[in-house]
């Protein structure tokens, strides 16, 4: 289990995860009553930012992490080339990514000896 959480910033929205364009939930998706499935959605060309929260501190600087820094990579992507997630200098707790293809992505953010968090998201045409 990870010892950090992830928050999102930038151009994105969390939308209902429906099984088809008509908005009808099929038998394939079985959400818990009152807890519908949701998905993170962004637009191709729009920057999305993943912010790590450690001990309730949002996006701490590397100097405050005791040497246990973060790394990130795109593990699933719809086409190549795959843009590399980037972080500001001295702040590996913030990862920025701009999807260049329509489709499904998975970013994995890992902290040394602190576990990892995998975030699925979809990029659509604006």
Q: What's the predicted TM-score (pTM) here?
A: 0.85
Quote the number of domains for the chain. 1
- Give the whole-angstrom CA distance, residue 73 versus residue 83: 10
Fill in the DSSP letter of residue 3: S
86-102: per-residue pLDDT in tens?
Answer: 999 999 999 999 999 99
21-32: per-residue pLDDT in tens?
Answer: 665 555 566 667
Provide the percentage of residues in the chain whose pLDDT is more than 70: 87
Confidence at 109, pLDDT banded by 50, 70, 90? very high
- Give the whole-angstrom CA distance, residue 116 versus residue 86: 17
DSSP assignment of 26-80: -TT--PBTTB--EEEEEETT--EEEEEEETTEES--GGGTTT--EEEEEEE-SSS
- Provide the CATH number for the domain around residue 23: 2.60.40
Domain boundaries, position 120: 5-124
Residue 47's pLDDT is 94
């Amino acid at each position: 289990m990870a010892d950090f959480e992830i928050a999102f910033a930038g151009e994105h929205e969390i939308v209902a995860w429906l099984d088809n364009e008509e908005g009808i939930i099929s038998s394939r998706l079985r959400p818990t009553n009152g807890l519908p499935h949701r998905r993170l959605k962004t637009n191709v060309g729009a920057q999305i930012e993943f912010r790590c929260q450690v001990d309730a501190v949002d996006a701490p600087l590397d100097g405050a992490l005791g040497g246990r820094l973060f790394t990130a990579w795109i593990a699933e992507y719809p086409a190549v080339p795959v843009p590399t997630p980037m972080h500001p200098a001295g702040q590996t707790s913030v990862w920025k990514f701009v999807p260049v293809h329509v489709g499904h992505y998975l970013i994995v953010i890992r902290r040394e000896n602190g576990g990892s968090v995998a975030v699925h998201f979809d990029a659509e045409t604006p």
